[in-house]
Each structure stands twice: as C-alpha cells, then as structure tokens.
Amino acid sequence: MKQILQTLFILSIVLILDCRLKKPVYHLTQSEAETRFEIIENIKYELDVHLTPKDSFEGKVKIYFFGKKLRDLRLDYYQGKIKSIVLNEEDLTNLPYENGHIQLPANNLMIGNNTLTVEFETPYAKTGNGLHKFTDPDDKEVYLYSQFEAFHANKMFPCFDQPDLKATFKLNATVPKNWKVISTTLPNGQTKGTNLEEISFSFPESAKISTYVFSLHAGPYQVWEDNFESIPLRLFVRKSLAKYVDPKDWFTFTKEGFAFFNSYFGIPYPFLKYDQIIVPEFNFGAMENVGAVTFSERFVSRAPMTRSQRENLSDVVLHEMAHMWFGNLVTMRWWNGLWLNESFATYMASLAQAKNSEFKETWISFFEKMKQWAYDEDSFVTNHPVEAKVSDTEEAFTQFDGITYGKGASVLKQLVYFIGEEAFQRGVQNYLRKYSYSNSTLTDFLKELEFASGFPMKKWSKDWLETKGTNQVELTTICAENQFYWKIVQSAPGLENKLRDHKTILGLYFFDKSNKQLSFEEVPVVYSGRSTNAIFPVKTCPNYTFINAEDHDFSIWKWTESNKESLEYVLEFDTDPMRKLILWTDYFRQVQLANITFDEFKDTAIRLYSSETDIKIKRWILSRVAGDNGSTYFTSRFWFPEEKRIRDLNSLQTFIWDELLKAKPGSDEQRYLFVSLVDSTYTANAKKRLYDFLENKLSVSGLKIDQDLRWNLIVKLSSLETERTQIQNIIDREKKADPSSRGVNSSLAAEGAEPNRSVKEKWIQILLNPKSSQYSSSTLRVVSYSLFPEHQKDIQLTFLDTYLDALDKFNNGEDENYLDAFAKSLAPDFCTDETLLILKKFTGNHPRLPAPVKKTLLKQIDSEKKCIEMKNKHKDLIAN
C-alpha cells in the first residue's frame, strides 16, 4: 500500500495525545436514579408550552410530588434557559444550573406534598432528540416531534427523567392555528388564544407512565382516521409526503395487531387511543410513545412497496404496539432491563405476524435479520449478557444493539421451544397483570415464568440472559444397519462464555438423485454439556443431516467441507425456504471462515439463482453476490489485482442483466436485480448503462425508475466519476426536479461521494462542527455515510488522523446519535496491520471516550483483526 509515510506521521500524533479523563456529566447514573427513587414518588406533571416556528419555545411546568426523604433532589434539564424556579412557594431562580441539571436543596423540600414550578425556554433540537423541528423544503411548513428515549425528555422540559419515576402528564399547547397537536391522550378541548393566529389544545391527565414514553408532536400534519373496536386510530404524515402513503396497509396491520395482542396478553389495550405519526429526520425506525408512536419516513416509499417492505412495515407496527404492554404498561426499572422491552417487542412482533397477518414467512425474516444480527454482535469483544450492566444513561444508548434486540428475542424463541407456547403465554399474562403501571426487574419476570411453567428459570437465566457468548456445535453422524447415531459436541469460545442446555431439531434429508428429488424428516433433540449423543432406528440412512432445522436454537453450527456436494444438492432441490436460507447462510459462513473462496460460493449461487423460485432466497443470493456483504467486500477489500476485479464485476453485471431481462415485468425481483446492478457498477460499461437509464435511452419493460432509485444511480455514478461534467449536469437537473427533503439530502450525498479530496475536506469540516452547521444531524448523517465508499479507501486513509482527532475533541454534550453516526460512518476499515495498530494505540490512550465512540472503536479493532485474518487465510486458500 502507498500510505506508509502517512501512517508514520499519524503514529507520532497518536503517541503524544493526552488521556482525556472527562466523562459527560449531564448523563444520569444508575446510583443517582436509585437515590432519587428513594426521595420522591407520586409525581404529576402539568406542562404548558407555547410552540411557534421560531428557533426556541417557551414553557412552564408544574410538578407535584410526594417527598419521602429530605435529600438534595436532582432536576434534569439539558441546555435550556431557566427563567424562574419556585419550590413550595420559595423563589429558587438563582440556584446554580450547570451540566444539564439543577440540585434542589433538601432544606426547601418537604416530607409530604411538594410543588415545583419552572418557567423555561428551550431551543428546538436539530439532532432528532428532545423536541425536534423540521422545515419542509417543499412547502416551507414547520413540523415538530419529540423523541425522549433514553434520556431526552429533559431536552424538552425540566423533569425527573428516569423510567421508574412514573408520573401522570397533563398538557396544554398553544400553536399556530393551522397546526395539529398529538400527545399521550386525545385533547379534550381547544380554545382560541389571545393571538388570533393561534389556538390552544388541552390534554387530560394521562395514565401513569415513564417520562421517556410521554410525547408531543405538532404541525400541519395530514391525518387519516379509522378505529379498532372502541380504540380510535389515526395516522399522520407531513403534507408533502401524504400522496405516497397507503393508509390502508397501515390500518390493516394495526388492527391485526390489536386483535392479536388484546387476546394474547389477556389485558385490553390500556391507553384508550392509538396514533401513528410518520416523522421527518428520525434517528430510529420507530418509537413507542404511549398512544402516539413515531415512525421514520423510510417507511414511505415513492415507488410501490415490495412485499418485503410491506412485511417490514407490518413488523415495525407490531413491534411498537407490543411495547404498549411490554415497556409502557410494565416498564424496566433501569436501562439494564432494556431487553425486557426490546427482546419481547421483537419476539412478539414476529409471533403476531405468524399468527395473524398475511406474512406467514415472518420466522424466515427473523432468522435472516434478528438471528444474524445477534450472532454478529455476540461475536465482538463488545458483546455483553442480554441483561447487561448499565452505569449511566450514556451507556444506555449503546445497549440498543444486536444483543438486546436480536439475541434476547432469539433466546425467548428458544425458551418457548423448551417450555411450550401455552406456559409462556400464561407466564407473560401473569407478569403483565402483576406489574401494570409500575416497574419490574428480571427476577420478577423469572418468578412468573417459573410459576407458569414449572421450568427452573434461574439456571436458564444464568446461562442465557446473564452470561454472554454463543455456543458452537459440531455434529457427527454414523448410520448403518438401520441405526442412526448422532453426537453433538458443544464448545463455548470467548471470554465468560459457558456451555448451555439447548433444544433443537436435527434435519434429515433423503435423496433420490435419479428422480432429482429429496424428502425430509425432523428429529427433536436436547443437548447439554460438552457432548451429547443418542441412537435411533431409521428405515433408510439420510444423505445429509444438519442442526437447527426450524431455527429454535441459538448456536453456530461448525460445518465441514466434506458435506459440500450434498449441501449443494439440497440447495438445488429442497423447496422449503426456511431450511434453505439456514443452509445458504451456513454455506456463506464458510467463505467468512476462509474454508472456501468467495468465487466458489459465487459460482454456486449464480448457478442456482435461475432455478430458485422463492423471492426471499433470490434476494438473499443477490445481496451476497452483488451487495456490500458480497462481491463489494470480497473483491475490493482483499485487493485482488484490478484486472481480476474488473473481470469479476463485468461477469457479475452480465449475469444480473440477463436475469433482469428474464424477470417478470413489475415484479419485486426486477427491482432487486436492478438495485444489484447499481451496487455492482464499477466498470466503464456498467457506468454507461446507468447513464442510459438516467437519460431515458434505456429501459426494461415493467421496471419503473422512480425518483429515489434515480438518486441511487446518481450517488453511485458520482462516487466513480473524476470527470465531472456529465454527472454534475445530472445532479443539477435532478435537484431542480426534486426539491423535496429527500432530493436535497440525496443531492448532498451525491456531492459528498465525489472522489475528490478537497470535497471530502470541506464536508469533514462541516461534520466536525454540527452545532454551527446549517444542516440537521439527519442530513449530516446521510452525507457522512456517502463520503467514503469502498473504492475510495485511499482517500479515506489520508483523513485517519483527522478522524481520530475529532473523536478526541467531541466531548461533553454532543448528541449520542450524532456521535455514533460520525464514529461509525467514517470508521477506518482498511484491513491492514498498520491501521489496526493505530486504532489500538488511540483506544488504549483514550480510556474515557464517550460510550458510543468507545464501542465503535473496540468493534472496529475487532473487525479489522478478523478481516486481516480472513484476508491472510484467503490468500493461502487461493495460493493452494
């Protein structure tokens, strides 16, 4: 590589960097939260806000609470302006206000009833956390929405911001008269303000809920209405996007959810009304605010939605709805119990889809997304038990990961297979009934499940919830004289891992090669400890056997290459998509383990693609041969000679193009193939084809290149073109044709993607100073992810020192989502020993980096190690 000089230079900087000992102090620690819980209870908020399209808003909050102990009491309020504080009629306006909180002195508190009134002014957020303001470039309308999880309610108003200080909320909001206001309850009245251009909405007292699920959204949102039995349903979106929303799907998925959950949980929906609001610049997929769920606009497509997009929407609608019980009605005491929210909502959404929706394939998607996310996250040094330790609210942010969602939900699936669906449901019902409107811990949950099932939950929890790591299993089989012998050897690689009890299914295939057929049988097995074996009679010996046929287990199967020929036969002739996806995934893992080359895998995948009939499998194959996980990764990262890269990508393009012409017009497959065509564009021929599509010189019958897809093409081409005239004309033209916020963001992404160091320099300076930038965090995130595509690693390397300096500079008070996106999107993944060493030294010298940055760096170091190891193994594999 040509970066050695640069590398030495960077090393010298890294070595003289000082250790930074600062830790963001505005975050709330677990012990502070526990102390506060001891001091107060019975909290009621009365919040009055005056919302205008300016840069900040004014408000007054009256907090009634019962004092239990006379101790200094922390009031959380992040970087706003305090105008007055009155506690029990005593003016405390001059109390020190720093680091995002105010300490109310013990001697002003009373045992018994207290009243605190604070008048304040808060700037609107542009980070997506707190009360976020968005101005629609299409029609200049202003929209507001709140996002409070995990510790952002105090970014809107002063409060006691922790999950176990549940409270009731009464709200009054004065807004411009064309606005709607959405909150936890339905407004019981609206009055004209003194200003004729304004209107006030008052909302009655809510149920007792945590601060992080209270919410407030306002603006001239478009609304659709429906109902499920007595529950009023509404759907909101900003006006300029309304024409792309299909409310029918949204309401159908919502009603299916209520029908299922009301009966499954045995407790009717507790919060009276259900609103869903699609909001701009959202940091997450969706958020389960009580009765007012927010969704990212990524669920609005400007083209007809594919079945997989609709399945995903149904899944997210159900996930958030499950939270109304798991999370909102019963809430974890502290963020270490986040899995009690997220693992359950994830599992329940799939269960609801399987039982009461058109998407019966949900468990295949669960395997594809949640399981793989879980295995991946659990394989890094940053893994943690499902029930984790969380020392403060900053660390809480890092828990929203593949363990808390994917592994927790997978472990629940395994538990249900052990104890049975009925016992599980009974346990869940008892648990929800017992802890309604209050908070719970792991112990509370285990007690109810053990009572309902008779299953020893403590040991199970120690193994699966309180210990980290994934088990690996090896299967040995011998079959002779109608006797089938199997042995499973379990191991527990990694620190603090252990052997566990598993219940799973052995899948047995029997081939009839002369008729190109196969049959399949399942054998349930339980295994534990180091080694388990058994023997049973069979009519004939199976030709191929594998573990975890229906994906109830959570373990990695160590495949051996001797099976390869049989495996390929199964992949060709089995028709069950779930089994096939499990086997395809195992097969691809062999590439990652360098047991086979990527070319070997790709040849099989391409050969079997045409005869495959299941669209999920087809899409999976395409994502591996043409997406970021596949050829992009395995051709460029491994620095094969450029001629080979060009040859491979050309032949890949020929394959995709041929299939595209064969695919059914207007089908989802056609769209997936087209996206793969864009993903694998690199060579001159491929680029020309994309230009021809953009200039309407080329089309494929039934394939609609909508505006979002056009932008995909443009960003890709921009990242490849040093000669700018043609692409710049197109960017300018499309910018005019699409003045929407998506158009604006996409044109900025296209600009950032240019392979030009000075363009990167300009954007990095903007990214380093988000607070003074004209852009929202959301726009900056779009740009930062477009800056360094795979083929621009040489430019990215010249910014390595800038990146590390920036991580050192960002400190107290930077938004976690922004920090996380910055750290991840620009993370140095170069797969070389030199850069690995730099990352290690930097991380070693900076023990107190903000939690999201630290986690990203530790994962990156691990990922670089794995990449280097894989690269070296592949070199050997190819050389042999």
Structure tokens at 762: 């300009």
Q: Using CB atoms within 10 Å of the CB of residue 175, give its burial: 0 to 12 exposed, 13 to 18 middle, 19+ buried.
A: buried
- Nearest distance in Å: CB 758, Zn ion: 42
Q: Using CB atoms within 10 Å of the CB of residue 696, give its burial: 0 to 12 exposed, 13 to 18 middle, 19+ buried.
A: exposed
- Identity of the residue, 315 or 659, whose beta carbon is nearer to Zn ion in the bound complex: 315
- Nearest distance in Å: CB 373, Zn ion: 14
- Nearest distance in Å: CB 284, Zn ion: 9
Distance in angstroms (rounded) separating the CA atoms of residues 709 and 677:
12
Distance in angstroms (rounded) separating the CA atoms of residues 621 and 527:
32
- Identity of the residue, 345 or 518, whose beta carbon is nearer to Zn ion in the bound complex: 345
Subset of residues 324 to 363 that bind Zn ion, contact rule: CB under 5 A: 342, 345
- Nearest distance in Å: CB 405, Zn ion: 7
SS3 275: strand
- Identity of the residue, 288 or 553, whose beta carbon is nearer to Zn ion in the bound complex: 288
Distance in angstroms (rounded) separating the CA atoms of residues 688 and 658:
17
- Identity of the residue, 342 or 669, whose beta carbon is nearer to Zn ion in the bound complex: 342
- Identity of the residue, 345 or 390, whose beta carbon is nearer to Zn ion in the bound complex: 345
Q: Using CB atoms within 10 Å of the CB of residue 113, give its burial: 0 to 12 exposed, 13 to 18 middle, 19+ buried.
A: exposed
- Identity of the residue, 342 or 395, whose beta carbon is nearer to Zn ion in the bound complex: 342
CA count, 13 A, side-chain hemisphere, 8? 3
Distance in angstroms (rounded) separating the CA atoms of residues 730 and 773:
26
- Identity of the residue, 311 or 754, whose beta carbon is nearer to Zn ion in the bound complex: 311
- For CA atoms 355, 357, 358, 363, the dihedral sign is negative
Task: Map 626-657 to HEC letters.
Answer: HCCCCHHHHHHHCCCCHHHHHHHHHHHHHHHH
CA count, 13 A, side-chain hemisphere, 493? 12
Angle at 804 between CA 799 and CA 809, to 5 degrees: 120
- Contact letters for Zn ion, residues 789-808 (x by CB under 5 A): --------------------
- Identity of the residue, 331 or 545, whose beta carbon is nearer to Zn ion in the bound complex: 331
How far is CA 594 from its chain centroid? 29
Angle at 217 between CA 211 and CA 219, to 5 degrees: 165
Q: How many CB atoms lie within 10 A of CB 496?
A: 11
SS3 878: helix
Greatest Cα pair distance, the chain, in angstroms, is 92
Distance in angstroms (rounded) separating the CA atoms of residues 553 and 558:
14
- Nearest distance in Å: CB 327, Zn ion: 7
Q: Which residues contact 744 (CB under 8 A, 6 or more apart)?
A: 137, 735, 779
- Nearest distance in Å: CB 286, Zn ion: 8
- Nearest distance in Å: CB 868, Zn ion: 35
Q: Taking a C-beta distance cutoff of 8 angstroms, is the pair 114, 108 a contact?
A: no
- Identity of the residue, 400 or 418, whose beta carbon is nearer to Zn ion in the bound complex: 400
- Identity of the residue, 39 or 345, whose beta carbon is nearer to Zn ion in the bound complex: 345
Total residues in contact with Zn ion, by rule CB under 5 A: 2
Own/partner long-range contacts of 391-395 (Cβ < 8 Å, ≥24 apart): 391/29, 391/30, 392/27, 392/28, 392/29, 392/30, 393/27, 393/28, 393/29, 393/150, 393/151, 393/335, 394/24, 394/27, 394/816, 394/850, 394/851, 394/852, 395/335, 395/851
- Nearest distance in Å: CB 181, Zn ion: 25
Distance in angstroms (rounded) separating the CA atoms of residues 353 and 345:
12
Q: Taking a C-beta distance cutoff of 8 angstroms, is the pair 619, 308 a contact?
A: yes
- Identity of the residue, 40 or 345, whose beta carbon is nearer to Zn ion in the bound complex: 345
- Nearest distance in Å: CB 149, Zn ion: 9
- Identity of the residue, 78 or 299, whose beta carbon is nearer to Zn ion in the bound complex: 299
Distance in angstroms (rounded) separating the CA atoms of residues 250 and 248:
5
- Identity of the residue, 151 or 640, whose beta carbon is nearer to Zn ion in the bound complex: 151
Distance in angstroms (rounded) separating the CA atoms of residues 332 and 442:
8
Distance in angstroms (rounded) separating the CA atoms of residues 733 and 724:
14
- Identity of the residue, 403 or 730, whose beta carbon is nearer to Zn ion in the bound complex: 403
- Identity of the residue, 345 or 556, whose beta carbon is nearer to Zn ion in the bound complex: 345
- Nearest distance in Å: CB 288, Zn ion: 6
Structure tokens at 853: 């940055």
- Identity of the residue, 324 or 345, whose beta carbon is nearer to Zn ion in the bound complex: 345
Distance in angstroms (rounded) separating the CA atoms of residues 684 and 675:
18
Structure tokens at 345: 């909502």
- Identity of the residue, 128 or 219, whose beta carbon is nearer to Zn ion in the bound complex: 128
> Phi and psi dihedrals of 654, rounded to 5?
-60, -45
Q: How many CB atoms lie within 10 A of CB 846?
A: 20
Q: Helices then strands (H, E): number in the chain?
A: 30, 28
Return the amino acid letter for 780: L
- My answer on whether omega of the bond before 150 falls inside 30° of 0, hence cis, is yes
- Contact letters for Zn ion, residues 290-329 (x by CB under 5 A): ----------------------------------------
Residue nearest to Zn ion (CB): 345
Q: Does 709 bind Zn ion (CB under 5 A)?
A: no
Return the amino acid letter for 50: H
- Identity of the residue, 297 or 315, whose beta carbon is nearer to Zn ion in the bound complex: 315
- Nearest distance in Å: CB 344, Zn ion: 9
- Nearest distance in Å: CB 293, Zn ion: 10
Q: Which residues bind Zn ion (CB under 5 A)?
A: 342, 345
